Structure 1
Amino acid sequence: MCMKATCSTCRMLSPIYYCFRQDETILTALDKTSWWGCGAHIPSVMDAVPESERCTCAPKVERDGKEYPPKAER
C-alpha cells in the first residue's frame, strides 16, 4: 500500500532554504508531496495532490501513462 510522504530534497532545492533554515514554519511551506510504499498504488495517492504541491525531483515514475515524483525516503 502506498501513502503520502514528504520529499526531504525539495525543501533544500528552494532558493530561500538557506536564508530561512532556522524558521520551521517557512520550511514546512517549502515541503513537497511524494509517495512511499510498494509503488502499486501511486495514482490513488498522488492524483489528489495538485501539481504545484508535488515533489519535482527526478527520475519520475510512470504509471498508467502518467508521471509521478520518485519514491520518498522513509
Structure 2
Amino acid sequence: MCSRVTCPTCGKPDWAGCGAHVEIVLRDVPRERRCRCREDGTRKPAPGLASWISSWLGGGR
C-alpha cells in the first residue's frame, strides 16, 4: 500500500510505497501541485519492496 509523504527536495506532496495506489493517496492533490522530482530526475524514487526483499535475502552483499 502507498502512503502520502512530503518530498524532501521540493516540499510538495508525493507518495511512497509500491506505486499501485498513487491516485488514491494523492486524490485530493491536483496533478500540477504534486511533486515532479521523479519525472524530471531531481530525485530518485525510494527503493521499493523488491529491493527490500533482495537485501533481506542477502542480495545486497
1:2 partnered with 2:2:
yes
Shift, 1:36, TM fit: 0.4
Shift, 1:58, TM fit: 3.5
Root-mean-square deviation (CA, aligned residues, Å) is: 2.6
The list of structure 1 runs, each at least 4 consecutive aligned residues, that deviate by more than 6 angstroms after superposition, is none
Q: Which runs of 5+ in 1 are unaligned?
A: 11-30, 61-69
| Percent pairwise identity | 45
Shift, 1:52, TM fit: 4.8
2:14 aligned residue? 34
Q: TM-score, normalised by structure 1?
A: 0.46
Larger fraction in strand? 1
SS across alignment from 2:25: helix
Q: TM-score, normalised by structure 2?
A: 0.53
How many correspondences in the alignment? Answer: 44
Q: Which runs of 5+ in 2 are unaligned?
A: 48-61
Structure 1 residues 71, 45: CA separation in 2 closer, same or farther (over 3 Å shift)?
A: farther
